[in-house]
Amino acid sequence: MARPKTLRLVGHETDRRTLVLCGIASALVGCAYPSLLTSSNASNRAKLQTLELQANGRLGAYIFDTANGSGFGWRENERFNHASSFKMSLAAMILSNAENGFIDLNEILRWTVDDLMFVSPVTTVNVDKGLSVRDLARATLVTSDNTAANILLRRVGGPEQLTRFWRSLGDGFSRLDRYEPELNVTPPGTELDTTTPFAMAHSTAKLIQGDALTADSQSVLRGWMAEVRTGRDRIRAGFPSGWVSGDKTGTGIGDHIHTYVDIAFGSPIGRPPIIVAAYFEPAALAEPIDRRATAVLAKVGRIAAESI
């Protein structure tokens, strides 16, 4: 099966060359679309900084436009905990492993009642019969089923295998070190289970728009992300209603740090998507879910949408 064209993923340091590249190489993906100018990126970066100040917390975000390879961010190279957002990459790795013959999507995996964890809506009702690898991958991404994620991580050889998958994408920053639920809080002084907004935005772009997966697997992954319900008040809430979009959320509630995460793609129909990776740690902690914190991620989505 033919793979889609390779997407050259570049960072903000190349923004100044975008117009020149489009002028001399109009055949490149995205040059038919308006470019994000350096001045515009500086303005949008300032908007993210202002949002952080108004929100009273630490905000990390990176917006990458796959139409032209341009992007902007704030604290985009600082580390944040994945929380459950790693499950999008885990599902993608399962699809990749299936493409390469390392795993059978129809293989039935089983678990016991003792393996069940909180937020496991699919695995809880299927203890007696088990589920296929495909169904577990979908449950991991769409419903954020924690037990399903652990089952799949054990099946592929542990969290370090997901780290290796990110490395195969050229992502030298993202890492997964532990299982659910420990992975949701990074111990002080460590980088366990963390990523950067810049790294995750580019890895996500490679998975849904580049050549890391076949077109069929990309379609499955985007379809699963579109089914996610937990992100409707996060990044996607800032996208226009007519956009095609999908996401994967994460929420890490620790004793001293709460991390709200969302990784999303979105665009008008027919346009290559923008990728948004956003992480917010509010200074004031509230449980179980701080709607003010999720609203910050929605505002990041709005800034991203307005940038194109």
Residue 5 per-residue DSSP state:
P
Residues contacting 166, CB < 8 A, separation 6+: 89, 173, 174, 175, 199, 203
Q: Do the beta carbons of residue 230 and residue 249 sit within 8 Å?
A: yes
Q: What is the Cβ-side half-sphere exposure of residue 77, based on CA atoms within 13 angstroms?
A: 4
Length of the chain measured in residues = 308
Strands (E), the chain: 57-65, 70-74, 80-81, 108-109, 131-132, 194-195, 244-253, 258-267, 274-282
Tell me the C-alpha distance between 193 and 191, whole Å: 6
Catalytic residue at 39? no
- Reduce the DSSP state of residue 281 to 3 states and report it: strand
The DSSP string of 95-112 is HHHHHTTSS-TT-EE---
> Exactly one of 70, 84, 217, 245 is catalytic; which is it?
84
Residues annotated as catalytic (active site), given as ranges: 84
